[in-house]
Amino acid sequence: MTERTLIKDLSARPDGPVTVGGWVETVRDQKKVQFVVLRDESGALQLVNPATREIDEATASDTEGAAAASAALALTESISGLSLGTFIEVAGELKHDERVKLGGLEVKVGTLDVAGVSLPEAPIAADSSLDKRLDYRWLDLRQPKNALIFRIQTTLEHAWRTWWVENGFVEIHTPKLMESPSESRAELFQLDYFELGTAYLAQSPQHFKQMAQAAGFGKVFEISPVFRADPSFTSRHATEFISVDAEISWIDSYEDVMSMQEQLLAAGFAAVKEKHGDEIRELFGIEVEVPQVPFPRLPLAEVHKVLKEARGYTVPREDGDLDPEGERQISAYVKGEFGHDFVFVTDYPTGIRPYYHMRDAETGLTKSYDLIYNGTEITTGAQREHRIDELLANAVDKGLDPAGIGEYLEFFKYGIPPHGGFGMGLARVLMLLLGEQSIRETTLLFRGPTRLAP
């Protein structure tokens, strides 16, 4: 395998022989010189070749000179025939030259090998619609801005994993094929599963995270795909997405869960700002803000009051849950009052929360929260009900058949500590962090009601 140097590493190398590889971004085929902009996963580089358009008679009569001239002519013709997007490997001479606008260096081409030819007409352009770009996502991701999203994602996940591990968490990988629904039969994908009958794709690792608490793991996390048979076509919904989940034991209240999550987010954003802050500013026009801890906290009832009195907005939903406009309005209020991009909305009514959220005996409300970031909900979290009698009563109150959650209830029959956790959408966090308009932009390969390819 040829030792290829990444373009980002060339500035630290001295002038001399080098091998680079990537795809052709532009070709300027002038009469006496040819320029090619080569891009790889790390950056862009100018290649230069003194063009040889023909072999004169004097050179042709000299065997050695003719061979060299023929090779130079072949190289010129090869560069002239390059289509944009073609992958090439080039060996040549690196030269640092501050006059070169693209990075202050260039490579004089010695040899050029075509690794993968591209069709001459690209199927998408910078102004193509999002749906069209998603049809050719592998080409869309060659754009530096789009590729950066997934390097940011890598940094963010690494920082989260580092924080979790340093704080004693165990990483788990829960199954995505389930014998029974994880929460309810709504929004479930079903499939035939051999002789066992119907299986379901997991909506959440919720029950398995709780099983880990019964196993005595104490603190767990998982970053994994989940599935929702949700026919929504909004900018923040998908049928398959990456969920960021954590669950912890021995909590006193859901405040412990919120404290854990805000520290986690602050650590992740700090890592992103340190590693990618300049690139994000250049390509997205966004200044990464590392959130201050603690985040503001507002009970849902107070949010409704604030929205009505301070923002002149009444949430139209009968169940009292916030609608998207309510989320935007309370974010704007919190930004103005507290200078913060995040807000925990707490203490939700039982009618809009799952049966396994613990209920407050005095208020009748659940010990739960949503985390809203830049006007959009990214998380639901709660203290879980760990007392099996209360859990069963909550399920019955919700109209659930206890037989349908029998396997889940088994976790609680042999002892389980007080615990709680959250689930957070990765693509939503990236979308809001980078100021994008849709999770389609921050998902590698989006899946929705009308998209199963590529």
Q: Which amino acid is at 63?
A: T
Is residue 58 a part of any domain in this protein? yes
Max Cα-Cα span within the chain = 102
Along the chain (454 residues), what's the average pLDDT of each consecutive run of 10 residues? 89 97 97 97 97 73 77 95 98 96 96 97 94 97 98 98 98 94 74 95 95 98 96 92 98 98 98 98 97 98 97 94 97 97 98 96 97 98 97 93 89 96 98 97 97 96
Annotated binding site for L-aspartate: 183, 228, 380, 384
Q: Which of 90, 116, 142 is the last residue of a domain?
A: 116
Query: 324 and 221, same structural domain?
Result: yes
d(CA 216, CA 210): 10
Query: 141 and 74, same structural domain?
Result: no
Strands 297-299 and 342-346: parallel
d(CA 254, CA 162): 23
d(CA 444, CA 454): 10
Residue 252 is predicted with a pLDDT of 97
Query: 208 and 283, same structural domain?
Result: yes
Nearest to 37 by CA among 110, 75, 88: 88
Q: Find out whether 151 and 184 touch, Cβ atoms under 8 Å.
A: no
Is residue 450 a part of any domain in this protein? no
> Residues with Cβ < 8 Å from 380, sequence gap 6 or more?
368, 369, 370, 422, 423
- Classify residue 441 as exposed, middle or buried by CB count within 10 Å of its CB (0-12, 13-18, 19+): buried
Query: 204 and 103, same structural domain?
Result: no
Query: 348 and 220, same structural domain?
Result: yes
Is residue 56 a part of any domain in this protein? yes
The model carries a pTM of: 0.94
Strands 240-249 and 297-299: unpaired
Query: 142 and 92, same structural domain?
Result: no
Region of residue 399 (left: phi > 0; alpha: psi -120 to 50; beta: else): left
Nearest to 414 by CA among 438, 388, 392, 393: 388
Query: 359 and 281, same structural domain?
Result: yes
Q: What one-character-per-residue DSSP string does 106-124 give? A: EEEEEEEEEEEPPPSS-S-
The radius of gyration of the chain's CA atoms, rounded to the nearest angstrom, is 28
Is residue 449 a part of any domain in this protein? no
- Classify residue 306 as exposed, middle or buried by CB count within 10 Å of its CB (0-12, 13-18, 19+): middle
Is residue 106 a part of any domain in this protein? yes
Is residue 112 a part of any domain in this protein? yes
Residue 67 is predicted with a pLDDT of 84
Residue 186 is predicted with a pLDDT of 67
Annotated binding site: 183, 228, 377, 380, 384, 425-428
Residue 274, CA distances (Å) to 289, 292, 336, 434 in order: 11, 16, 26, 15
d(CA 53, CA 356): 76
d(CA 253, CA 265): 20
Residue 57 is predicted with a pLDDT of 62
Query: 217 and 169, same structural domain?
Result: yes
Is residue 395 a part of any domain in this protein? yes
Give me the CATH number covering residue 47.
Answer: 2.40.50.140
d(CA 380, CA 148): 28
Angle at 2 between CA 146 and CA 79, to 5 degrees: 65
d(CA 383, CA 358): 6
Give the number of domains in the chain.
Answer: 2
Count CA atoms within 13 Å of residue 130 on its CB side. 13
Query: 346 and 211, same structural domain?
Result: yes
Give me the CATH number covering residue 208.
Answer: 3.30.930.10
Is residue 122 a part of any domain in this protein? no
Annotated binding site for ATP: 377, 425-428
Q: Which amino acid is at 52?
A: T
Residue 137, CA distances (Å) to 141, 143, 249, 292 in order: 6, 10, 41, 36
Query: 247 and 188, same structural domain?
Result: yes
Residue 383 is predicted with a pLDDT of 98
Query: 240 and 331, same structural domain?
Result: yes
Phi, psi of 445 (to 5 degrees): -135, 105
For residue 173, give its domain range: 133-434
Query: 380 and 331, same structural domain?
Result: yes
Strands 16-29 and 87-96: antiparallel
